[in-house]
Chain A
Amino acid sequence: MKTFEEKWTAWLDDQLSGRERAEFEASLLDRAAAEAERAAAKKLGALLRRELGTHDLANEEFFSHQLRERIARETHLPIRERDVEVSPWWTVGRLLWTGTASLAVFSVFMIFVVHDRNPVEQSQYLTQILNARVDPVVSPNASISMFEAKDDRVTVLWTEGLQSLPADYAAK
């Protein structure tokens, strides 16, 4: 169903079929005014065509020269630079590669760095001794030193000036 505006425009441009045209013209309240309006629209079209139809491009050759220069610059841009212009967001492939690489780096870090910081079987006695409270009244000059040889899996705990060991440790 065409609106009035659409029918009017088609009527002005002689685009209505015979039956449509007859129906539309019959629906007009003031046929004479409509015809005058149509004539005015045609005059307007003729005026626009006459006055705006031609507008020369000055310096045509310079226009083409400037365009050639721009295109040449674009053509010789590094591929990576052009990609950035065309695709400002990362592609799915690039995201996948980045994710995989990040996961690999994290795994290496976990295996070689964090893992080595947890020496096996070292902490049992050491923690007990170091955590044991040394009574400063009983053992005022007590000192505890530790020597460790990781390759040989040996840890030597050197204590001096201790009057007594903590009871729970001595029991072991």
Chain B
Amino acid sequence: MQTEATPAQADVSESDLVKRCQAGDTEAFDELVTRYRTRIFGMIYNMVHSEQDAWDLAQDSFVKAWRSIKRFRRTSSFYTWIYRIVMNVTIDWLRKKHVKGGGAEFDDSVPLREIDAAAKTTPKVAALPHETMQRDEIRLRIENAIAQLSPEHRAVILMKEIEQMQYHEIAATLGCSIGTVMSRLFYARKKLQNLLRDVYENL
């Protein structure tokens, strides 16, 4: 799994921060949040495709992590541990929301982008308008395709392709067998290939 800091720095300081968190130090937890908030938010966003929901779920995940930090035995990295919490919270939320596959999201009447309260007001890079539009359309196609996967298939394909996690790491995160992970990957890839073939073949 990727980490933002170099492994040695991350291991030492992260371990120290976790120990301080377990002693009730909220500033240490704040430091861990600062370190991982963007990656966690991004991962949740890819699962739920709504900035506001991703924001709320990321908040809930961190709060849950704080509540149970004393039970963290440090046998894995903090990121792996909190990632498991994030996935549980997000999959649970998706199940409750009854997100199911369907063609509704390909309906042209669905707006391309909704202005979100949590969205940035200025773009980072001034891209040409037609490039931006094309990029937005591709992204929307991908999001719609992913939205047709079950929460479990969604989680597996994103962990494998975006986070580049190993099978055993995904299995540990989701609490299932490696065989189940591989099987889910098989069907998730097949479905996405069918839905996005024209997109990736024309790039």
Contact = CB atoms under 8 A, between A and B. Distances in A.
Interface of A: 2-3, 5-6, 8-10, 12-13, 15, 37, 40-41, 43-49, 51-60, 63-64, 66-68, 70-72, 74-75
Given A41-B193, A44-B196, A60 B38 contact: yes
B158 A52 contact: yes
Given A5-B183, A58-B119, A70 B34 contact: no
A13 B45 CA distance: 25
A71 B69 CA distance: 13
Given A6-B179, A66-B59, A67-B59, A48 B161 contact: yes
21 contacts: A2-B179, A5-B183, A6-B179, A6-B183, A10-B182, A44-B189, A47-B203, A51-B138, A52-B142, A52-B158, A55-B46, A56-B38, A56-B42, A57-B55, A58-B118, A64-B34, A66-B59, A67-B62, A68-B30, A70-B63, A72-B26
Given A40-B193, A52-B162, A72-B26, A3 B179 contact: yes
B196 A47 contact: yes
A12 to B, nearest CB: 7
A55 B200 contact: no
Contacts of B120: 56, 58-59
Which of B45, B59, B182 has the most chain A CB within a 10 Å cutoff?
B182
10 closest A-B pairs by beta carbon, nearest first, are A5-B186, A57-B41, A55-B42, A6-B182, A9-B182, A43-B200, A58-B120, A47-B200, A48-B161, A45-B161
Interface string B25-61: 0100110011001100110011000010001001100
A47 B179 contact: no
B118 A53 contact: no
A63 B179 CA distance: 37
Contact of A40 (B42, B45, B197): B197
B33 A9 contact: no
B97 interface: no
Nearest to A46: B200
Contacts of A8: 186
A41 B46 CA distance: 19
B199 interface: yes
B89 interface: no
B96 interface: no
Nearest to B181: A9
Contacts of A66: 59
B4 to A, nearest CB: 13
B142 A47 contact: yes
B63 A12 contact: no
B37 A60 contact: yes
Nearest to A65: B30
Contact of B142 (A9, A51, A60, A75): A51
Given A6-B182, A49-B162, A68 B26 contact: yes
B186 A6 contact: yes
B79 interface: no
Contacts of B118: 58-59
Given A44-B193, A47-B203, A55-B45, A64 B162 contact: no
Contacts of A37: 193
Given A51-B142, A72-B26, 4 more contacts: A3-B179, A8-B186, A71-B26, A71-B29
